[in-house]
């Protein structure tokens, strides 16, 4: 049984501008120790889906569908049960580490608070555990650091402290919402290394990110969201080298690469649709170079793209309703191994 099963999740926000379907019919599963990347543009529903799992949406957000964690329905759970699961079994790391730490308490105290909430440790024992957690996430001199305030931490250290806090209840699943955004690349690499290290201890990670590089480096499987719907689901290799959905191909094409010699950055034309009035049929069709008449009428389901059964894409090309063909392909421009190569990493 999968650790996390999300079935047909719909998140609606009732706003003055109408009903916004931020997440529309999303289904995915996550196994123990697995790393799932969730990618998409801003407003694709990545964060709304993550918050829905935790039951942390604003009052204006309504959830439909089924979310099961370790076989237990989270949509049916009462507040007390949800509170025990949050932090206890599902840890969360947010995007802006400095904003996610309360400025008036020491970092150690905030971690100890999480420890107290989910274990029977108290007082000095909770503090000791907080220091041990800071040590676990690789903060040097953790005993001194525990007594410092968030403003005395750098961004990278604050993010580590947040990871320590998320680990306080010894969770089975870590939901990391854009954990590396806003950190410089060396600190990003260190944080990913830390998450990688944690994930080898059988911790499942749902990494929400718009950074394809980070996802490529870290995840086992990737879920691509567009306008609240999953458009492609695939193992990470397959997604990057054989993208099946035009949107994924467009995303990959727009990633700037060092030394690639293009004069202009390519971008997907158009913008993400207004989710209170999404386009009919396939939601990507207004921006899709392969769009046909059929695309404006039929909303494609997530269908298997080959016989392996692990690579799915939501495009009419895979249901046989598209008369044309998807002609994009990925070329590997830099081959491996030269005479003086050395260590490529």
Partner 1 sequence: MKDPLDGRGRLRVRGFDGTDAAADTGEDADAAPTAATDRWRRAWKRFRRDRIAVAGLAVIGIMALLAVLARPIEVGDVVVQPFALAPYDPGASGIAEPYRPPSLSHPFGTDWAGRDVFSRVLYGGRYSLSIGAIAVTLALAVGVPLGALAGYAGGWVDETIMRLVDILYAFPFLVLAIALVATFGQGFWKLIGALVAVGWIGYARLLRGEVLSVVEREYVLAARALGVRDRHILVRHVVPNAVAPVVVQATLNVGTVVLSAAALGFLGLGLPPGTAEWGSMLSAGRDTLVGGEWWVTVFPGLAIFLFVLSINLVGDGVRLALDPETSADTYRGRGTRRDEQGGDR
| From 23-31, 187-195, 269-277, 278-286, span contacting partner 1 (CB under 8 A) | 187-195
- Residues binding partner 1: number (CB under 8 A): 72
- Listed in sequence order, the residues at least 6 apart from 248 whose beta carbon sits closer than 8 Å to its beta carbon are 224, 231, 232, 239, 313
Q: Is 324 helix (H, G, I), strand (E, B) or coil?
A: coil
Rounded Cα distance between 335 and 341, Å, is 11
Nearer to partner 1, 217 or 292 (CB): 217
The phi, psi pair for 193, rounded to 5°, reads -60, -40
The CB-of-114 to partner 1 minimum distance in angstroms stands at: 5
- Least CB distance to partner 1 at residue 332 (A): 4
Give 193 or 274: the residue with its C-beta nearer to partner 1: 193
Q: Is 328 in the site for partner 1 (CB under 8 A)?
A: no
Q: How many helices (H) and strands (E) does the chain have?
A: 11, 12
> Residue 70 is encoded by which pair of tokens?
């370790």
Query: How far is 232 from 245, CA to CA, in rounded Å?
Result: 6
| Site residues (CB under 8 A) for partner 1, limited to 84-123 | 84-88, 92, 94-96, 99-106, 113-114, 117-118
> For residue 62, which of 137, 123, 11 has the smallest C-alpha distance?
11
- Chain position carrying tokens 């870590």: 174
The span of 18-26, 269-277, 312-320, 328-336 binding partner 1 (CB under 8 A) equals 328-336
Give 286: exposed, middle or buried? Use CB within 10 Å, 0-12, 13-18, 19+: middle
Residue 33 interacting with partner 1 (CB under 8 A): no
Decide if residue 215 touches partner 1 (CB under 8 A): no
Residues 255-274 contacting partner 1, CB under 8 A = 257-259
Q: Which stretch binds partner 1 (CB under 8 A): 125-133, 189-197, 243-251, 295-303?
A: 189-197
Give residues 144-173 in contact with partner 1 (rule: CB under 8 A).
144-145, 147-149, 152-154, 156-157, 162, 165-166, 168-169
Tell me how far apart the alpha carbons of residues 128 and 67 are, in angstroms, rounded to a whole number.
Answer: 35
Assess 186 for contact with partner 1 (CB under 8 A): yes
Instruction: Find the binding residues for partner 1 in span 192-211 (CB under 8 A).
Output: 192-193, 196
């Amino acid at each position: 049984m999968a650790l996390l099963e999300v079935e047909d999740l719909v998140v609606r926000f009732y706003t003055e501008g109408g009903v916004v379907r931020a997440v529309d019919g999303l289904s995915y599963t996550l196994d123990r120790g697995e790393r799932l990347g969730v990618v998409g543009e801003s407003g694709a529903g990545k964060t709304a889906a993550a918050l829905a799992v935790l039951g942390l949406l604003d009052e204006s957000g309504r959830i439909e569908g089924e979310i099961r964690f370790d076989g237990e329905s989270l949509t049916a759970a009462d507040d007390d049960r949800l509170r025990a699961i949050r932090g206890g079994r599902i840890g969360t790391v947010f995007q802006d580490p400095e904003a996610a730490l309360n400025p008036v308490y020491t970092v150690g105290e905030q971690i100890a608070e999480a420890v107290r909430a989910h274990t029977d440790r108290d007082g000095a024992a909770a503090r000791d555990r907080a220091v041990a957690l800071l040590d676990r996430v690789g903060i040097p001199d953790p005993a001194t650091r525990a007594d410092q305030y968030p403003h005395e931490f750098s961004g990278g250290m604050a993010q580590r402290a947040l990871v320590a806090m998320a680990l306080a209840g010894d969770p089975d699943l870590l939901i990391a919402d854009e954990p590396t955004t806003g950190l410089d690349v060396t600190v990003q690499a260190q944080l990913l290394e830390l998450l990688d290290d944690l994930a080898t201890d059988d911790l499942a990670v749902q990494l929400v990110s718009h950074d394809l590089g980070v996802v490529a480096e870290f995840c086992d499987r990737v879920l691509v969201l567009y306008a609240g719907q999953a458009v492609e689901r695939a193992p990470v290799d397959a997604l990057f080298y054989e993208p099946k959905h035009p949107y994924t191909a467009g995303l990959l094409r727009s990633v700037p690469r060092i030394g690639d010699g293009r004069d202009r950055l390519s971008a997907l034309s158009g913008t993400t649709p207004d989710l209170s009035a999404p386009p009919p049929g396939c939601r990507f069709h207004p921006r899709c170079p392969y769009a046909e008449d059929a695309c404006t009428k039929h909303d494609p389901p997530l269908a298997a793209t080959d016989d392996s059964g692990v690579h799915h894409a939501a495009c009419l090309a895979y249901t046989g309703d598209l008369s044309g063909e998807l002609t994009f392909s990925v070329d590997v421009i830099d081959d491996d191994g030269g005479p003086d190569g050395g260590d490529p990493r």
